[in-house]
Chain A
């Protein structure tokens, strides 16, 4: 990139990394408040049961126990933990199905009771003294069972006696019949059914909260959650405390990936703090994190496409069933988000999406990096390769023929902005030497079969068009010209704070070490909608840019008096306002001083507040390429090399953006090959709730990863930026599935993860 910027495009180090690297950063579990108690939760051993009676007398008699709560002594206000906009915007989209303690437990891992005690050991010991009488109910532990017409209800909130959560999301370029008719009348027709597994975020920092309820009726909560303002609103609703008396403070976050976007067990800590009059800390252990937090929606996706003989996609119908687990939380929204991505990649004139979340008596699915997108992308990219095979077309050629052009209108009549999917695929194929590798792969040796595959993906930059997206930023200049930047944007370790500071620097020339970014504290920071929807750079960045520009106007205006020059003669450089005509300049510190002394008018502070609202549906794109080797005896896959090409608009910080892609690839590889939260069909228990059995890719298993950004600026983005967080992982599994299929001579893969057992059975077939 040329040097038009002083800060945009530089490889600044992630803020806080010098603290984190020496163990000095303070995560929640590192906070110790005076008189703090520790909490432990009793989780249901049953998949579905009514609690008839709870006897806590023995637990309460235990030395060191200070409080015990459960469904018979706590409020039963219904809420939706995934509420993420103004609380009551769309109740039909976000059914309220959760209580802090529900007298009917709906999955193994649902909350039954909780204890606060002088130590975690005592609290955990006390759990075993709580006596609960359950009446077991019929349970539904699989998605297929939940979908059957006369299956029992996993949650009574299911629509019309079924397990449907909320309403089906169904719309397209025309009616469903029309689109299906177009499919059936096409010369080439293909239907694929694909299953994607339930996976966990596997953030390294276990879920942890501290709550402190004080005698004046105020509640403070420390969380590493991703959406403090909505947490405040949900807690206010669940506990009946006015919003002004609840303060949510986001601490340093040890990884989240969507897994900390929804209210978790904060209300439990809050109630125990209220009951005991002391601060309460809750930290889950890893088993509990697997069973009693959130996970990705398992999905069954059926795609039907009609194709012309020349390889042009004519029509496509996507049917998706999502397993939302025991409660609604994000279910309907996930289908909604999935639906949107259906229409923004390929050019078929006729497209339709029909998706439904179903309740089951299994751990709650919720937000996870990609939010419905990875399921759709892997299924469809595998499907597209099948079509290419059926037509004897090269997968790259086939996609190039069908990908949406920049600034085109999609089948829904929506403008595509600077959508560079085609360029991602083309450049990726060239850089990866697609043709050479595909040729070479034909000549495999012995039991090692080599395969080359690709997959593409798209992801938004913010909430729009699902909701209007907005955030606010406050910036204040200190007396020495340094800056305070207050934002509700949450940095989960991604570097969001650094990116925002870089944008402020671009406008104001203030170096990063003179910008204090204060994030996500409901008592201090202005409103924001949380770290989700890949929105931090695009939404937060736009807002910071506008706010910084407002601050710059104030500085320049004050300087017109000090330098006795017109505004048009002035510019900002190195924390000074310069006059090009006279060569004179005045420092930011002197300008602030002048404003505060009231030299040129009433005394005032140099500071700005700005809200930014987005009404643009903007998408980032990726094309991912993989070179793999499959051992046809053992079914083991070794991923040798990958290239991930991204159209994220201008890259504000290449080092951080590459880091997002590296992590996204890691998550996508696990999704494709090894990660699966297995649920015992009989009991509903998570069978593998440890890092020993739930297999994340480890350092020696990772391929060489190349990352390339096409820096095509997006007009509506800050300095042309779009998004990266979720797009980094969306396309990975598709590339791996297609590479493995290529290695196996075009085998039709119909599920992930592609475990060795699965691949062996496929090879035998």
Chain B
């Protein structure tokens, strides 16, 4: 296993230094090293968005993100969102909009919603739908997920 690399980055606001094996993905680091299991493994091939985290405010699929590229980066996971007063309304919007069924896609969806709202606080439906194109959900038909993002943006389309 020899050639270990060391990276320093922030994880949910905390500075971290980590010695890692070159093959490790960020998802592996989150789930297996830090036991942050809110980030999910859905496919491992960059196709489903269950493993989304924010890196420097951009949604990224952590299952294909090499951990060695973490140097100097700011990583925010679902655990970070739920303990941050600025962002807690987003998971709550998913609950209120009935956007959670099996919930396996939900952490990735919440992360993506935050990524979108940081970029555009008032996205229209077309924008929301195209922004979420990398996030698969098998349960909701995305209907209430779009509604949750609307709610999180301070709007309700269902009245």
Residues of A within 8 A of B (CB): 11, 13-14, 16-27, 29-30, 32, 201-206, 252-257, 283, 285-286, 492-495, 655-656, 658-659, 662-667, 690-692, 696-700, 702, 705
Contact = CB atoms under 8 A, between A and B. Distances in A.
B107 interface: yes
Contacts of A13: 95-96, 98
Interface residues of B, number: 53
Contacts of A494: 101
Interface of B: 35-45, 47-48, 50, 77-79, 81-82, 91-92, 94-96, 98, 100-107, 110, 126, 128-130, 132-146
A32 B146 CA distance: 34
A705 B104 CA distance: 23
A202 B138 contact: yes
Contacts of B81: 22
Main secondary structure of the interface of B (DSSP, over half): loop
A495 B144 CA distance: 15
B104 to A, nearest CB: 3
Q: Which of A21, A254, A691 has the most CB of B within 10 A?
A: A21
Contact of B42 (A23, A201, A204, A697): A204
A21 B129 contact: no
B72 to A, nearest CB: 25
Given A204-B137, A698-B136, A21 B110 contact: yes
A16 B142 contact: no
A318 B50 CA distance: 42
Contacts of A495: 101
Contact of B129 (A257, A663, A699): A699
Contact of A690 (B47, B101, B102, B133): B47
B146 A204 contact: no
Given A22-B78, A205-B42, A699 B135 contact: yes
A705 B129 contact: no
A679 B140 CA distance: 29
Contacts of A286: 42-45, 47
A692 B38 contact: no
Contact of A666 (B94, B96, B134, B142): B142
B102 A492 contact: yes
Contacts of B106: 17, 20-21, 23
B103 A696 contact: no
Main secondary structure of the interface of A (DSSP, over half): loop
Contact of B144 (A16, A27, A662): A662
A204 B79 CA distance: 20
15 contacts: A21-B82, A22-B79, A26-B37, A29-B40, A204-B42, A205-B40, A205-B102, A255-B139, A658-B143, A663-B101, A663-B141, A667-B138, A692-B45, A699-B137, A702-B143
B133 A698 contact: yes
A659 B101 contact: yes
A23 B141 contact: no
A659 B139 contact: yes
A193 B27 CA distance: 48
A204 B48 contact: yes
Q: Which of B95, B98, B130, B145 has the most CB of A within 10 A?
A: B98
Q: Which of B43, B81, B110, B146 has the most CB of A within 10 A?
A: B43
Contacts of A256: 102
Nearest to A254: B104
Given A22-B78, A493-B103, A691-B48, A702 B139 contact: no
Given A29-B37, A691-B47, A692-B47, A21 B103 contact: yes
A11 B41 CA distance: 31
B50 A204 contact: yes
A283 B79 CA distance: 23
A18 B90 CA distance: 11
A619 B93 CA distance: 35
B133 A666 contact: no
Q: Which of B107, B110, B140, B143 has the most CB of A within 10 A?
A: B143
